[in-house]
Structure 1
């Protein structure tokens, strides 16, 4: 199970780096080329959305079937283990949601870059005539 969360963590880190690179002020040619490269990668990278969704379902199922340790019968070690598992689940939910939001943000940024590029090309055609 830890491998899945490690993969998701690396994907979120890569998505965050790409989002930062897309939004940095760079020369127009470099920005357009990078946006077109990222838009080519977006479709194969769509796997992250169902992967994160499956992880969310797994967290939900485990939460529904988790043994509660809130009574006086539990030892301190059991209570600590229970609280640690709750915190891990909360962290993993944030990771899944962040992965989906970053993917959506990157796709919207690339779409806006393409629209800006096509509008600039149309403006050049109008000015040249």
Structure 2
């Protein structure tokens, strides 16, 4: 597995852990601290989206220029190698799409949490009036 796919796999695992952490029930103070920390980390982590899109384009280009091995001329070893490369490409596409979707999910969860906090503050101010 190439280094970029290892990095992307770790990023997807970290994003999944953060998404899980954000969705687990927790006391309000702890949840606010977690959301604040994750919100600070989201802006530098934005770089994962163009990286994943670039990797998707690379997979697409390699797929378009891949030698086909579907005829009877191919040996069993060549056919196995071809199928293995197809499976790796499919796995890597799932990895890229997961990275983008998980980043978007974490971003939206943080944004919704901040909107809820703002609404609660407005409600509290109106009650005090």
What's the TM-score once normalised by structure 2's chain length?
0.98
Q: How far does residue 98 in structure 1 lie from its aligned partner after superposition?
A: 0.3
5+ residue gaps, structure 2 = none
Query: 1:57-76 residue pairs with structure 2 within 5 A?
Result: 57-76=57-76
Q: How far does residue 24 in structure 1 lie from its aligned partner after superposition?
A: 0.2
Q: Distance in 1 between matches of 2:46 and 2:94?
A: 19
Q: Distance in 2 between matches of 1:14 and 1:67?
A: 35
Q: How far does residue 127 in structure 1 lie from its aligned partner after superposition?
A: 1.3
Q: Distance in 2 between matches of 1:20 and 1:4?
A: 24
Deviations for 1:46-74, whole angstroms, at most 9, x for unmatched residues? 00000000000000010011000000110
Per the alignment, residue 7 of structure 1 pairs with 7
Q: Distance in 1 between matches of 2:113 and 2:37?
A: 12
Q: Distance in 2 between matches of 1:33 and 1:122?
A: 20
CA RMSD of superposed structures (Å) = 0.8
5+ residue gaps, structure 1 = none
Query: 1:42-57 residue pairs with structure 2 within 5 A?
Result: 42-57=42-57
Q: Distance in 1 between matches of 2:97 and 2:81?
A: 24
1:22 lines up with 2:22 in the alignment: yes
Per the alignment, residue 79 of structure 2 pairs with 79
Per the alignment, residue 107 of structure 1 pairs with 107
Q: Distance in 2 between matches of 1:3 and 1:37?
A: 28
Q: Distance in 2 between matches of 1:32 and 1:116?
A: 11
Q: Distance in 2 between matches of 1:57 and 1:123?
A: 47
Q: Distance in 1 between matches of 2:86 and 2:118?
A: 48
Q: Distance in 1 between matches of 2:54 and 2:122?
A: 43
Number of aligned pairs? 129
What's the TM-score once normalised by structure 1's chain length?
0.98
